[in-house]
Amino acid sequence: MNPKFALDRSRLPADVCEFLRTKTMYTGGGRRAVFSETDQFDTAAFWCLHTQMPWGPDELEAAPDVCRGARACCKPCFVPPAV
C-alpha cells in the first residue's frame, strides 16, 4: 500500500472496530494525539463501512465509545495474542 494514502487510525483506541471511519483518518494532519475515554467526539462525524451511515448493521450509533468488541458487528483492530 502506498504510505501516502494509508489510513491513520492512530487517534483511535486499538479495540475500536476496524470498520469505523471518520474523515480525519484520511487527512494527514500530522497531529497524532490519542483519544481517551473522556474526549468529546461531538465535532467528528463517524460512519460504519458496513452501512456507510452513522449507525452500524445493528442500528446503533457508529462512534468510538460504542463501536467496541461487545457488538456483534465489531471487528477490533487489535486483538491481543492468546496466552
38 part of a folded domain? no
Domain span at residue 5 reads 1-28+44-67
Beta-strand relationship, 20-22 and 46-48: antiparallel
What is the mean pLDDT of the segment spanning 23-31? 65
Alpha-carbon span 53 to 67, nearest angstrom = 13
Average pLDDT, the chain: 75
Percentage of the chain modeled with pLDDT above 90: 28
Alpha-carbon span 80 to 4, nearest angstrom = 28
DSSP letters, 18-60, are: TTEEEGGGGS-----PPP-TT---TTS-EEETTTTBSB-TTSS
pLDDT value at position 37? Answer: 45
Looking at per-residue pLDDT, the higher value among 7 and 55 belongs to 55
pLDDT value at position 38? Answer: 44
What is the mean pLDDT of the segment spanning 39-56? 83
The count of structural domains within the chain is: 1
78 part of a folded domain? no
